Amino acid sequence: MLTAAVAAREVLAIGGLGLAVSAARDLRVRHEYAPSGVLTYAVEASGRDSNAALLWLSTWEHYRVALAVQFAAGAAAPVVALAAPTPAAAVAALLLAACAVLTLQRSSYGLDGADQMFALAMISCTAALVAGERYGRLFLYFLAAQLILSYLIAGIAKLVSPVWRDGTCLAGILSTKAYSSPRLAALLRRHRTFALGMAWSVMLFEVTFIAVPFLAPVLDGTVMLAGLVCGVLFHLGISVTMRLHTFVFAFTGAYPALLYAMDNPPM
C-alpha cells in the first residue's frame, strides 16, 4: 500500500524536475527580464501594490538567483526524493514551493495552469512530509482533488465553446505564434473529422477524469493504471505539439497524490 511519505516524495521528484525545466526556460530568455524586456518587473508590477521584500526579490539581478536555486533544487529533487532522509526532502520541497510562489507573486503575465499546479504540489508535498502519515494524507487528498477539479473545469470551459464542439479550435490554436505547429494545423484543417475527434477526445478526457477515483474500487488496478497512462500521453502530446513542456510535470506530478487517495480512500 502506498504511504503518504512515499507519495509525497514522488510528487517532489516529478514536480521538482518540472520546476527545473521551468527555471531553465526562464533563464534562457533572460533578455525578456532586462529593463527593456516585456517581463521586466517595472512592467509586471504596474498597477499592483508590492511590498519592499517582493520588489527586491523580483528585480532581475535577484530573481535570476532564485531561478538558479530553483533549477538546482529541481534537478536534484529526484535524488533527494529517492535517497535523502525526510527532513532533507521536506527542506527541498519547501525551497521549491517558495520559488514557485515567488513566480506567481512576481507576475500574472505569461503564467499558466502549470505554474499554479507546481505551487500547490510543492506546498502539499512539504506539508505531507512534515505532518507525517496521519495528517499528511489530508494534503495529498487536497492535491488529488485539485488535479481532478483542474481537469473538470478545463473540460467544461471547452464544452461550452462552439469552436471546441465543432473541432475548429485546435487548428486555430496551433496556428498562433505561441503554440505554433503549422503542419499539424494544416492537417487538422484538411481533415475535419480527425480535428473533431481530437477536440472531443480532449474534452471527454478532461470531464470524465473525475470518475477515476470513484471507479477505483470496482475496476481492476490495471485498468486504472491504463487510465493514468492515457493522462501522461495526453500531456506528452500537448508538450510535443504546443511546446507546453512544464504541463507534463505539473499535472502528472500530482498523479502520485491521486494514486494515494485511491489506495487510501478518506472514507
* 236-248 pLDDT, tens digit each: 988 888 888 899 9
Q: What is d(CA 112, CA 97) in angstroms, rounded to the nearest whole number?
A: 16
In sequence order, what DSSP letters do the residues of 20-69 get, joined into one string?
A: HHHHHHHHHTGGGGSTTSTT-HHHHTTTS---HHHHHHHSHHHHHHHHHH
Task: Provide the pLDDT for residue 68.
Answer: 95
Give CA–CA dist 175/121, Å, rounded.
32
Global confidence as pTM: 0.88
Counts of helices then strands in the chain (DSSP H, E): 14, 0
What pLDDT shows up at residue 238? 86
Residue of 26, 182, 27 whose CA lies nearest to 110: 26
21 neighbors 245 (Cβ within 8 angstroms): yes
pLDDT > 90 fraction of the chain, expressed in percent and rounded: 54
CB hemisphere CA count around 171 (13 angstroms): 18
Grid cell in block for residue 42: 517595472
CA angle 176/180/184 to nearest 5° reads 115
Q: Smallest Cα–Cα separation from 30: which of 55, 56, 57, 60?
A: 60
Predicted confidence (pLDDT) at residue 86 exceeds the cutoff of 90: yes
pLDDT tens, 47-66? 555 666 666 666 777 888 99
Lowest mean pLDDT among 127-141, 186-200, 203-217: 203-217
Rounded to an integer, the average pLDDT of 201-214 is: 90
**Mean predicted confidence (pLDDT) in 122-140:** 95
- Cα 3-214-81 angle, rounded to 5 deg: 25
What are the tens digits of pLDDT across the range 185-207?
Answer: 888 899 999 999 999 999 999 99
**With 80 as the cut, is the pLDDT of residue 180 above it?**
no
In terms of Cα–Cα distance, which of 85, 83, 82, 43 is closest to 60? 43
Q: Which residues contact 213 (CB under 8 A, 6 or more apart)?
A: 144, 148, 258, 261, 262, 265
CA atoms within 13 A on the CB side of 164: 13
Q: Which residue has the cell 474534452?
A: 203
pLDDT at 46 over 90: no
pLDDT tens digits, one per residue of 166-177: 999 988 888 877
